[in-house]
Amino acid sequence: MRFAFLFAFLFIGFVTIQAQENTDLKPEKQDQFIIDILWETFDHRPGDLKMKWYNYGINLAYMYDAPVTKNVSFAIGLGYSNQNYYSNSFLKHDTIDDGSNNAYWEEIEGEYRKYKVSVSTVEMPIELRFRSDPNLKGHSTKIALGIKPGYVFDVHDKFITREKDKYKTYIFPTIEEFRLMSVVRIGYGKVSVTGGYSFTPFFQEGNGPEMHQINLGISLMPF
């Protein structure tokens, strides 16, 4: 993670120099606010963990877009993301003799209405953007590649029984607090398709299954 933040620091310096050297470019306020509506899942799930098809997530980001050439720009910003994972298993952890914790999924016995794990993260998205020249309607084809260093500030689950009783847990010491996501976005005008993969595992190394977040969805860029 320290590499990611060092990269961000160098990126900011690079953008500042480029902006000074390209005084003839007039930065347009393009794709400053981004809304991602996502389907969420994990790779390398334990065999007995069954994820529901309706896992969902939402990302919100406000970006500063700095042009390098007519059709290429860098962008950096601040974002928030929330993922909701529905499954057939409780997320639990045991404390081992050496004081460390081990996370595992335990299948829920009996009938129940719903179980989910919710994760919220504050992020610093960094992107390299490519845009075609606008057509007669003023729309461009767009491609963005980037990373999102982030800090997980909230993890909790919710269990709803058959009788509609609700229970929440907020203590999950095995979740990796720092996350580094990759981002790919391809679209036209104000709508794009997007996808992401987490380079960092969901659990701390050695404290649970080596699962990585994957998402796919649609990005809306109203301005």
The residue whose two tokens read 């009788």 is 163
Show the domain range for 76.
Answer: 2-220
Number of domains in the chain: 1
pLDDT reported for residue 95? 79
> Over the chain, what is the mean pLDDT?
89
**Nearest residue to 183 via CA among 165, 192, 195:** 195
Say if residue 100's pLDDT is above 80: no
pLDDT reported for residue 19? 47
Quick: pLDDT tens for 37-89: 999 999 999 988 999 999 999 999 999 999 999 899 999 999 999 999 999 99
CATH assignment of the domain containing 156: 2.40.160
**Residues present in the chain in total:** 223
Pick the range with the lowest mean pLDDT from 8-17, 59-68, 176-185. Answer: 8-17
**Nearest residue to 59 via CA among 148, 190, 140:** 148
Q: Give the mean pLDDT of 133-153.
A: 94
pLDDT reported for residue 153? 97
The residue whose two tokens read 């829920």 is 108
Report which secondary-structure segment, H or E, holds 76: strand 72-86
**Inter-residue contact 88 to 107 (CB < 8 Å):** yes
Give the pLDDT band (50/70/90) at residue 10. low
Quick: pLDDT tens for 22-43: 544 454 668 899 999 999 999 9
- d(CA 64, CA 32) in angstroms, rounded, equals 6
Q: Give the mean pLDDT of 148-169.
A: 96
